[in-house]
Every structure is written in structure tokens, then in C-alpha cells.
Structure 1
Amino acid sequence: MHFSKPLTLAALSDLRPTQMAFGAAEVLAKRAEWARLKRRDRAQALAEHWFPAVRGPGEHFYIVDHHHLGAALLQEEVEQVWVMQLADYADLQIDMFWRLMEFQHWAHPYDAEGCRRHYEDMPSRLDDLGDDPYRSLAGLARHAGGFAKDTAPYAEFVWAEFFRRQPGLRKLGALKPGSSIPTAKLKLAMELAHGPDARHLPGWSGKAEAA
């Protein structure tokens, strides 16, 4: 396999996130995938799944993707992973670093309730991310065919916010961190994802209403 940039072996526990929340259900799914792999397959998976990152202040690597995988591997006590450095911003002041990261679509400063927060609130470890159950719902809906995977950064967080604002889903009861996603909520989320109100969202695969 050929890479255009060099890879660095880094301690997984030292990698810093660039988002504040994840979907715990997706982390559990990735842990289940890992558990099914044999030892040799695990080594190959680690060799093939590198983490894109930016070197930031303090010489820390800030990963810009694969947060769910990283959190899952951390819970599985994996110690080292391969990192691909996309840029070197180590000489920037921390505020300017985060401004530039967000400008590059490499940071998502929104908490587990979808509220924008200050960069100072960004967790320093992958196991400090908050659980956004609506991000879990978005991940489950995508895997079930509710919408297509989109290459745009943080696309599923946009879907999470869409679902969070739907009165029909709220009527079925609040989603709580760490809880499983009820079948009724996933079914309704699938219907909403295919509906015309979601037509502007990334990966929408529904049908527009006739004019």
C-alpha cells in the first residue's frame, strides 16, 4: 500500500481529539468488530487503519478522523497506532491553532448536546469524549440505509442535529447517553431521513415531493 505522506507510530492514549462528542453505539460496534478478529487480522487492521492528524502546540498529534475507532481501540487496550501527519501547526498559539483547524474543517467544537463550546473545552483524550445519543442514532440510521456516507467532514453530526430537532422523535422519549437506541426511534429516524425535510443534508437518498 502506498502513502503520499510518511507514517508515524504513536501512542494511542496520547492522541488528541478534534471533536467533543461521539456516538457510544458506534464505538460499541467497532469494539465488536475488533473482538471478532483473530490476532493476525488485528495486526493487519492496525497496519491499514492510519489516523490522519495535525501536529499541534506541545508537539501533540490532533487526529481529524476515526475518533470512534480510536476510542474503541483505546477501550480494547491497544497501545500504538499509525498516524499520518497532514500539517504541522506546532508553532502556533493555541487559539490560532484552533481557528485554523476549524477553517480547514479539521475541528468540530460542539458538545454532546449539539451546543457550540469554546476551544478550551475540547477534551485532551479520546476517552474523555461525551456521548451524544443522537450521533449514535445517526450512525445506526446510515448503516441501515437511511442516508449515504458522505465525504464531507462531520456529516453525521449534521444528521444528529437534524434528528435532535425532530418533534416526532422527542415524543418517543428522550435519548440518554449510554442508553440503547429503541427500535421505534430508529424506524422513525429512517422515515425522516428519506423525507423531503432532510433533502439538504449530506448523503440524502430520499425522494423530493412533486411540485
Structure 2
Amino acid sequence: MPRLINKIHILSLISLLLIATFLAGCNSGKTPEAQPSNNPPAGSTPATTTPTPSADTPSSSTSQSVKITLYFPNSDASGLIPVERTVQVANQEVIKAMFTELSSPPAGLESPLPKGTTLLNATVKDGVATLDLSGDFKKNFGGGSSAEVMTMYSIVNTLTTLSDVHSVQFLLEGKKLDGILGSLDTSAPLTRNDSLISKTN
């Protein structure tokens, strides 16, 4: 009889332990997963994304240094003298820069541009540079045939140093003329004439 009571007590104790273990397992919950927060930690600085410039992004400065070759008539209008200069070119307007430099010859050489001549417009298409000059180009030209050749080919030889220019078409106040300064035909584009280039003054 005592053994039976001991077995009952043991079974009861085991049952209580099993029930306690089961209840403990039910009451223990899983720790919830941390959810990502949209707010940065206190004291931290939000990351800033810097846009990458594209090929179409305009530069803050469009001016560039360009080395050019100019041809100035010598003092007796017998040849053209090459002169190299470095200029600052804005918006790739190298022809306008060349034209401006031709009005400032070095000592001992002549400017090919008659006084008051203004470049009204300059375009390049299919290898032809078209220059639209003001009326002073014709009005203030006072030389003969030799000076005419020097004036025209000083400009032509200068512009054809550019890789995309093979000839020059002259206009006067927007009009194409047979001979802007006289006998030289300017109804069609003029091509480079290296035979006029002199190595000495």
C-alpha cells in the first residue's frame, strides 16, 4: 500500500512538471523583428546624393585657349607672313577670334582689313566658311590689284588652317558679289593659295 501511494505521488509530480513546462512554453513569445525606421538615428546626418553631370550639362565656362595661325600681308604687298598666336575663344567662335586678330598686325606687317570692317556673321557648312562683311570692307579699301589679292587671301589662308574649312565665301552686307574689291572673282568660294605665303618680311 505505501508503494502504491509513492507511485501516485511520483506520477503526480511528473504530471505537474510536464504541465509547468507546457505553460512556460506557451507564455514565452517570440521577440518581434525590428522594423526598419524611416527616421535617421538621433545626431546622424542624412546622406545627400550628388547628381552626376551628363554630357548635356552646360559647363560653367565655355572659354578655351586655342592656338591659331594668321596670315598678314608684308609691307610691299608681295606676300603673306604666317604668325602664330594663342587666343581665348568663347563658345567655339574661333573664326570671329581670327577676324579680330587680323585687325592687329605685328610690327612690320599690314592688316588685311580695311578700316571699319566688321564681321557681321560667320558660318561653316560642308567645308565652306561664309563670311558676311560690313560695307566698310569695300568702301574703305584703297589698294590696287596686289593689295586686293593680299587682303582676300590673308583671310582665306587664315581660315583654311581650320580642319573643317576648305574654302571661304565672301558676302557684303548679306549679298554675294562678283568682285567685292574689284577684279578678283568672289561669286564662288575661294580656296587656299599657298604660293602667296612668304617666309620672310
- Give the TM-score of the pair, scaled to structure 1: 0.21
Which has the larger share of helix?
A: 1
Relative CO higher for 1 or 2, CA cutoff 8 Å, sep ≥ 6? 1
When Rg is computed on C-alpha atoms for both structures, the one with the higher figure is 2
